[in-house]
Structures are given as C-alpha cells and as structure tokens.
Structure 1
Amino acid sequence: MSAHRPFGLPAAVSAAVLLLAVAGCSSTGAAASVEVPSPPVEEAAFCQALAKELPDTVAGLERSDPEPGSELTAGWGDGAIVLRCGVPRPEKMSDPKAQGVSVNGVRWMLESTDGGPRLTTVYRKTYVEVGLDERYAHDIGPLADLAAPVARTVPCGLDPECG
C-alpha cells in the first residue's frame, strides 16, 4: 500500500488511507491469548479510558476479547484484531527507516510479522498496539474504527501536529 512513509519525513506528510470493505469472516470460537502489558499508573489510566470507548465491532467483526481479560487488551473476530494498550516503546521506533501511516489523525508505526501487520501509535502519552492477522496484510482499514477512540482518550505527546 502506498500509504507507508518513513518517520523521517516532515510531520505534515501523512498517508491517506482508503477504507477497504472486509469480507465476512467466520468465527473460530476460540478466544485469542495475549500478554497483558504492565504500563505505569498514569499510562494505565489512559488505557482504562480507552477501554470504555472501544467499539463493539471493528471492520465488521464482533468484539471478542483475548484471555486473560484486562482493560489493557481488546479483540475482535476471535483474534483477527487484537489491541494492547500501554505496551513498551517498540525498538523499531528508533529505526529512521521505520514505516508509518496516519489514519484519521492518529499516526501509527507499521511492522510486518509472520502473523500479519502490527501497528503501534506514535507521539502519544502511551503506546497502543494493534495486531492484525494475515488477512489484513495489505489492509489497515480496521484502524479507521480505532483511531477516534485513541484520539479521544490517549493524549498527544511530543508531536505538535498530533490531533
């Protein structure tokens, strides 16, 4: 997708993201299992506020939170989309060649994993990570449903253009 931009570009450069229709996905019936982050108290408070704002559906997939249950994690589509709030700063953010996208005013760093893309917010007072399974290898559309709650609840950090 041409929306990938190095973070070294001026902050005014942001990617336009086309929302792609996601085909219906069947549920496997098994809850995903994820590691629950352990952020500092101030960051955990942002995550608790985010937890209250998260939508019931993302990209047409119903909410199905991973195990163990926590206000710091959420999921949709039985592990197709998994959010973790308060994760540590990814090492990849130090890479000047790291790729990023901007979705509805929220900036994300993109990492490819064997299971699908992983995106982590940048320039916010805590890091929010969204893992997408392989069906989203070329579709970051689910971020459109998550950007507004993140923008409302996780304040901007160092970026003056963070909205």
Structure 2
Amino acid sequence: MSSHRPFGLPAAAAAVLLLTVTGCSSSDAGATVAVPRPPAAEAALCQALDEELPDTVAGLERGDPEPGSELTAGWGDGAIVLRCGVPRPEKMSDPKAQAVEANGVNWMLERTEGGGPRFTSTYRKTYVEVTLDERYAHDATPLADLAAPVKKAVPPSL
C-alpha cells in the first residue's frame, strides 16, 4: 500500500489509512497549548464551534487545556486537543499530502514527531486542528465525534 493518499480519499481507504498510522509516544496529560490568533470572522466561527463541542469525545470527558480559550478544547487530559482558527498548514500544498474523511468532514493527516497524529480540516472557512495522542493513532472515533459540530459551526469554503 502506498504511504501517500491524495485529498478526496474514499471512506474505506481512510479507515485503512488510520489503521496504518503509527504513533510515536504519548503526550503528557493536562496539556498547555498555543492559542491561535485568527482574523475576527474566523474567531467568530471558532466561538460558534466551541458552543457545539460535545462534553465527551471517544468516551473521554472534556477538560480544556491552558490557557482557557474559546479557540481551544481538550478531552482526556490532553489525549485529544482541538485548536480552531489555526493557520493553513504548509503541508496542504503538498500534492502527496494524506487525507481522510470522517462523517462528511475532510481532514489532512500529519504525523508529528514525538506524538500521535495531527489532523487539520480542509475545505472549511477556518482551519480546525485536532491532535491525538498515540492511543488514538488507530482510531477514527475522535474525528467522527467532532465531525457534526465542525459541519454545523464552520461552513465549507467551496
């Protein structure tokens, strides 16, 4: 199987891809994260997303990272961290970038050094980033759980 998948990856192939992702090491609980600084219009979308986010993701309770912000959220003491309004990742310009689809939301996959995978939404009016620790490197549940809120609060850019 090729290690590179283009955008528009079918759902079945996305599931296989998620099963082949390898995590490196677990991140520490209770993470401190950098708060994005999006333009005002994008920040408003992120605030709307914050209101839609679930209390649990992949069975983990919400426990937001520090510093507190409507632009960041977390579940499971840093196992799953969401940042809204992040800059467009450089990797999105790479025609070999890997992508997955979860419940109608497209995500670009990046493998981070020293941690689990990072996913950034594509084709939305602001970028939403979800970082998972290695426990979720083979599990699409967090992205599936976050898809409905992202679809509701962050409209497509197409």
What's the TM-score bracket when you normalise by the shorter of the two chains? 0.7 to 0.9
Instruction: Quote the residue 1:161 is aligned against.
Output: none
> Conserved in 2, the CA contact under 8 Å of 1:43 and 1:86?
yes
Q: How many residues align?
A: 145
Match of 2:47, SS state, is: helix
Within 1, Cα distance between the matches of 2:10 and 2:86? 24
Within 1, Cα distance between the matches of 2:98 and 2:110? 8
Match of 1:115, SS state, is: coil
State the Cα deviation string for residues 75-128 of structure 1 (Å, max 9, x = none): 000000000000000000000000001100000000011210000000000000
Identity of aligned residues (%): 77
Instruction: Quote the residue 2:24 is aligned against.
Output: none
Within 1, Cα distance between the matches of 2:10 and 2:90? 22
> Conserved in 1, the CA contact under 8 Å of 2:29 and 2:79?
no
CA shift, 1:31, in A, is: 2.1
Match of 1:100, SS state, is: strand
Within 2, Cα distance between the matches of 1:56 and 1:5? 32
Instruction: Quote the residue 2:110 is aligned against.
Output: 111
Q: Are 1:150 and 2:150 an aligned pair?
A: yes
Within 1, Cα distance between the matches of 2:69 and 2:111? 25
Match of 2:30, SS state, is: coil
- Whichever residue aligns with residue 51 of structure 2, its letter is K
Instruction: Quote the residue 2:75 is aligned against.
Output: 76
Using the size of structure 2 for normalisation, the TM-score is 0.85
Match of 2:143, SS state, is: helix
> Conserved in 1, the CA contact under 8 Å of 2:37 and 2:85?
yes
Query: Higher relative contact order by CA 8 Å / sep ≥ 6: 1 or 2?
Result: 2
Instruction: Quote the residue 1:24 is aligned against.
Output: none
Within 1, Cα distance between the matches of 2:6 and 2:79? 26
Within 1, Cα distance between the matches of 2:119 and 2:53? 17
- Tell me, which stretches of 5 or more residues in structure 2 are unaligned? 20-27
- Whichever residue aligns with residue 15 of structure 1, its letter is A
CA shift, 1:30, in A, is: 5.1
1:9-158 paired onto structure 2 within 5 Å: 11=8, 13-16=9-12, 31-113=30-112, 114-158=114-158
Higher helix share: 2
CA shift, 1:15, in A, is: 1.7
**Deviation above 4 Å: which 4+ runs of structure 1?**
none
Within 1, Cα distance between the matches of 2:54 and 2:136? 19
Match of 1:51, SS state, is: helix
**CA shift in 2, pair 1:109/1:44, >3 Å:** same
Within 2, Cα distance between the matches of 1:35 and 1:89? 15
> Conserved in 1, the CA contact under 8 Å of 2:117 and 2:132?
yes
